[in-house]
Amino acid sequence: MSKRAHSKISSGNVLDSMLSSLSRTNESTFTAKKAEAQVAKLTAGRGQTITVDENSVAPDTAIAQFLLDMRAIIDEKGFGANVEVELRLGHITSCLQEARCRPSQEGVDAAVVLSDTQIKAIGAKFNPGVAEMDYKGFLRGVEGMLRGDAYSEHKEKQVVHNMGQSKRIVQDVDPQTNIRGKSMVQVKERLGNIDVFMPHCQYDCRVSISCEFPLRDLEGDMSEMPAAESIRHKDRVSAVGRDLRIDLTKVLEESTNKNLFEVEVELSEPAVNRWLSQPDENGQSWKSAIETSSLLWKMVKYFMPNSGQAFKRNWDFPGATEVQNAYQGRLGIRGKFSGTMPVGFARWHIPLVQSREYFVSEKTDGVRYFLVVAGGNTVLVDRSNSPFTASGLDLLKLVLPEGTVLDGELVVSCQDDTS
């Protein structure tokens, strides 16, 4: 047997081999990126799917529950800080592309609440911001609010350097001279979020709770600081009221030189403190939480009236049997909508109306429901005996007795320039 002789490889051959290998790697990478781009092109505009099949909740109730769930964390981490509760408009999008997520059923009014864990599990994320044209419409809405006495106008300009690890360096800017003021360090720690997916509206919502610590002077000079993760130039107009502050902000991202448009609704410090000061016993904390969350959602309905629609749900919630028994037992008919139905009004009806206890009311073009308070719930039941929920219902059970059944219509009122 003979041994194979070792051949001497020149350095030039080594270099050629490396270049050839690198070329093949680049070719593979290019092919992969081309395929990825083709897939993105084919799926553009589709977005991730979110299940909405009778999976809705009343948004203000979900926000109230979120506030209660965060109480322990706030007590643990909020000492010496201002607790900030804010709601932002934006889109829930796929992590792989910028397309807004789609509902599992098209044409369905829905309000699906997603926790941080749930939104990550479906491969989605919340992207804050609105389109420039919508921003102008929201701005007109704020201008309408400022014409009354309940809100005052506040304008400010800032440059914000996001340094990472919840730290920012903030510089106020003089609106007349554009001269930057003193650099201040701000620490803002996010404690938690929930997202509300509303496919029938222009935008989805994110509600966040954060601890914001007092500003302090920057030690040293900006030039001595590490590079910021992002630099944002903010031009903000706000409507400031007793319980709420509405911020509309035009943001210039320095890294991309692009303008973003943001809409935020923030609870005032007194409103947050009123909620936090309520004791847990006798339902006081829940009552305060639902009243507080209703303040936020009322402003969402002002900007997006369709967010006040009723949303279909399943009959699997706690207290569902009590709700069914309340209205079916009282009206005595099962499997059929028992409400009185409108009839055409003819001349011969006039003596009948005059002689009996009939009343004439304004004709509305709403959706017919029973409103039932039972089993710790306030539920709307439609003509097909399906249950619905809507914002504001939980407040009614605070004033209506158990077993109440009302027959009426749900009417959504649209404000000018915001519908």
pLDDT digits (tens, 9 = 90+) for 232-289: 999 999 999 999 999 999 999 998 999 999 999 999 999 999 999 988 777 888 899 9
Q: At 395, is the pLDDT very low, low, confident or very high (cuts 50, 70, 90)?
A: confident
135/282 same-domain check = yes
203/335 same-domain check = no
Tell me: pLDDT of 108 over 60. yes
207/320 same-domain check = no
Number of domain units in the chain: 2
273/330 same-domain check = no
Domain assignment of residue 4, yes or no: no
Measured CA to CA in angstroms, residue 146 lies from 140, 149, 152, 154, 241 at distances of 10, 7, 6, 10, 10
Domain assignment of residue 374, yes or no: yes
Domain assignment of residue 23, yes or no: no
124/208 same-domain check = yes
- What's the rounded Cα separation, in Å, for the pair 283 and 397? 12
More confident residue, 234 or 413: 234
pLDDT at res. 8: 42
285/393 same-domain check = no
User: What CATH number corresponds to the domain at position 67?
Assistant: 3.20.100.10
279/354 same-domain check = no
Domain assignment of residue 96, yes or no: yes
Mean pLDDT over the full length of the chain? 84
Domain assignment of residue 134, yes or no: yes
Instruction: Enter the pTM of the model.
Output: 0.79
What is the per-residue DSSP string for 97-140?
SSSBPEESSTT----EEEEHHHHHHTTEEEEE---HHHHHHHHH
Q: At 5, is the pLDDT very low, low, confident or very high (cuts 50, 70, 90)?
A: very low
pLDDT at res. 138: 96
Give the mean pLDDT of 297-318: 91
206/317 same-domain check = no
pLDDT at res. 79: 82
56/142 same-domain check = yes
Residue 290 tokens, joined: 């639902």
- The single-letter DSSP state of residue 55 is B
283/316 same-domain check = no
Most confident of 8-17, 305-314, 352-361: 305-314
Range of the domain at 127: 49-154+188-213+236-248+262-303
Beta bridge partners of 239: 153, 246
Domain assignment of residue 353, yes or no: yes
**Which residue do the tokens 């044209």 mark?**
133
Tell me: pLDDT of 7 over 60. no
- What's the rounded Cα separation, in Å, for the pair 69 and 91? 24
Out of 2-16, 121-135, 195-209, 210-224, least confident range: 2-16
pLDDT at res. 416: 43
3-state secondary structure of 180: strand
pLDDT at res. 85: 96
315/402 same-domain check = yes
Tell me: pLDDT of 24 over 70. no
Tell me: pLDDT of 339 over 80. no
Residue 109, φ and ψ in degrees, nearest 5: -75, 120
- pLDDT cut 90: percent of the chain above it: 48
- What's the rounded Cα separation, in Å, for the pair 188 and 156? 19
E-state strands within 135-241? 152-164, 167-173, 180-197, 204-212, 216-217, 230-240
Residue 414 tokens, joined: 């649209």
Residue 333 tokens, joined: 């008919």
- Other beta carbons less than 10 A from residue 378's beta carbon: 23
Residue 291 tokens, joined: 């009243």
Domain assignment of residue 277, yes or no: yes
pLDDT at res. 200: 92
335/398 same-domain check = yes
Tell me: pLDDT of 42 over 60. no
Q: pLDDT tens digits, residue range 75-96?
A: 888 888 899 999 999 999 998 8
Domain assignment of residue 11, yes or no: no
